[in-house]
């Protein structure tokens, strides 16, 4: 008996996005998971009534594509990005969800990696490396996440004291949508992603996979115009205040985030559920697996620590 293929719902809100929308749409349509038949695409593009060539470019991009029947286009005035996102998510029928904005794009194997983990392990919410592009689409920086604490998500630490949860690299199971108040989401203007993460964190831990899934494109003036308003709206969504222990943990986590970055030094960390938070690629088994320290690795680490002790403190 053949197993049911996962349906993956992806939403792209857009408005007057003619410059970059083609790259975004192509990064969805050309996913290896859809090409090789491992998953079924459910792609919803929600346009806010663009007055430039956005719609024309979208239609030209999908019309001759093999997955054109998997794409639904909605074009009508809306109340901003999160109103558009809410519309798209309520149309979506998938088992796995994500959304990608109209100037960002995915790695071509992103969906395949996500499904290889979600279909084997009880992972409901997954993110990858935090990755940034410039206006040309060149990768300019990569951060390897260390660990996301549930309390710190609620208290607004990520994106302030510590790096963001990158929306473009984040995927989740359909059942987490039940925790979203869509009336609240559609009325947000800037920090809707933060609202979504706080609701998800009440139910499930956020896992990390050691690879590139998607990224955020920086363009001139973009951050300076938006971040102030983002932070103002985020402040109204924060749940709880930082205590003394929190502030001590933030200092510790800052050190570990800086050390981790691209060195993967601390991917053996466990989350609040006691599970290893990081998935790494096991070349011997040729699959993505939760990182675990076996007895051989423990012995190696002990030898390294002993060597360092003797080097710095020995006679």
Q: Give per-residue pLDDT as tens, 74-92.
A: 999 999 999 999 999 999 9
Phi-psi region of 274 (alpha: psi -120 to 50; beta: other; left: phi over 0): left
Please name the helix (run of DSSP H) or strand (run of DSSP E) that holds residue 280, with its range, or none: strand 278-282
Supply the mean pLDDT for the chain.
Answer: 90
Whether 117 has a pLDDT exceeding 80, the answer reads yes
| pLDDT (tens digit per residue) in 182-220 | 999 999 999 999 999 999 999 999 999 999 999 999 876
Extract the tokens encoding 303. Answer: 């030898």
Cα separation, 280 vs 211, whole angstroms: 8
Extract the tokens encoding 198. Answer: 């706080």
What integer pLDDT is reported at residue 121 of this predicted model?
A: 96
Contacts of 53 (CB under 8 A, 6+ apart): 18
Lowest average pLDDT, out of 58-72, 173-187, 213-227, goes to 213-227
* Mean pLDDT, residues 31-53 taken together: 97
What integer pLDDT is reported at residue 90 of this predicted model?
A: 95
CB 12 within 8 A of CB 28: yes
| pLDDT (tens digit per residue) in 256-292 | 898 887 666 666 788 888 898 999 999 988 999 998 7
What whole-number percentage of the chain has pLDDT above 90? Answer: 78
Cα separation, 300 vs 296, whole angstroms: 6
| pLDDT (tens digit per residue) in 286-296 | 999 998 766 56
Other Cβ atoms within 10 Å of 306 Cβ, number: 11
Whether 307 has a pLDDT exceeding 80, the answer reads no
Nearest to 171 by CA among 222, 223, 119: 119
Phi-psi region of 221 (alpha: psi -120 to 50; beta: other; left: phi over 0): left
Cα separation, 13 vs 102, whole angstroms: 7
* Mean pLDDT, residues 136-157 taken together: 94
Taken in order of first residue, the domains within the chain and their CATH numbers are 1-103 (3.90.550.10), 122-315 (no CATH)
What integer pLDDT is reported at residue 295 of this predicted model?
A: 54
What integer pLDDT is reported at residue 291 of this predicted model?
A: 85
What residues form DSSP beta bridges with 98? Answer: 10
Whether 312 has a pLDDT exceeding 80, the answer reads no
Nearest to 184 by CA among 261, 73, 82: 82
**DSSP per-residue string spanning 60-101:** HHHHTSTTGGGEEEEES--SSHHHHHHHHHHH---SEEEE--
Lowest average pLDDT, out of 128-132, 144-148, 217-221, 274-278, goes to 217-221
Whether 226 has a pLDDT exceeding 80, the answer reads no
Q: For residues 133 and 291, which has the higher predicted lDDT (pLDDT)?
A: 133
What integer pLDDT is reported at residue 258 of this predicted model?
A: 87
The model's pTM is: 0.90
Give the pLDDT band of residue 315 (cuts 50, 70, 90). very low
């Amino acid at each position: 008996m053949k197993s049911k293929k996962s349906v993956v719902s992806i939403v792209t809100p857009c408005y007057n996005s003619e410059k970059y929308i083609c790259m975004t749409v192509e990064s969805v349509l050309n996913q290896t998971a859809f090409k090789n038949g491992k998953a079924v695409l459910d792609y919803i593009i929600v346009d806010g009534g663009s007055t430039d060539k956005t719609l024309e470019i979208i239609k030209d991009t999908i019309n001759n594509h093999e997955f054109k029947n998997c794409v639904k286009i909605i074009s009508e005035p809306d109340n901003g990005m999160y109103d558009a996102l809410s519309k798209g998510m309520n149309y979506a029928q998938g088992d796995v969800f994500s959304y990608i904005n109209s100037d960002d794009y995915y790695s071509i194997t992103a969906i395949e990696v996500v499904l290889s983990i979600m279909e084997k392990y009880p992972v409901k919410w997954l993110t990858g490396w935090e990755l940034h592009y410039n206006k040309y689409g060149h990768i300019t920086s990569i951060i390897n996440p260390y660990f996301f604490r549930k309390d710190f998500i609620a208290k607004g630490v990520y994106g302030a004291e510590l790096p963001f949860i990158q929306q473009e690299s984040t995927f989740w199971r359909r059942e987490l949508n039940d925790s979203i108040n869509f009336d609240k989401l559609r009325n947000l203007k800037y920090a809707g992603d933060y609202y979504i993460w706080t609701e998800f964190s009440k139910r499930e831990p956020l896992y990390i996979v050691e690879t590139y899934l998607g990224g955020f494109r920086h363009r001139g003036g973009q951050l300076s115009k938006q971040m102030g308003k983002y932070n103002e709206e985020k402040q109204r969504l924060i749940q709880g205040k930082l205590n003394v222990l929190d502030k001590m943990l933030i200092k510790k986590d800052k050190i570990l985030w800086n050390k981790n970055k691209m060195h993967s030094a601390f991917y053996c960390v466990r989350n609040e559920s006691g599970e290893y938070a990081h998935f790494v690629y096991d070349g011997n088994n040729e699959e993505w697996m939760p990182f675990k320290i076996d007895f051989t690795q423990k012995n190696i680490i002990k030898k390294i620590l002993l060597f360092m002790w003797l080097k710095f403190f020995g006679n």
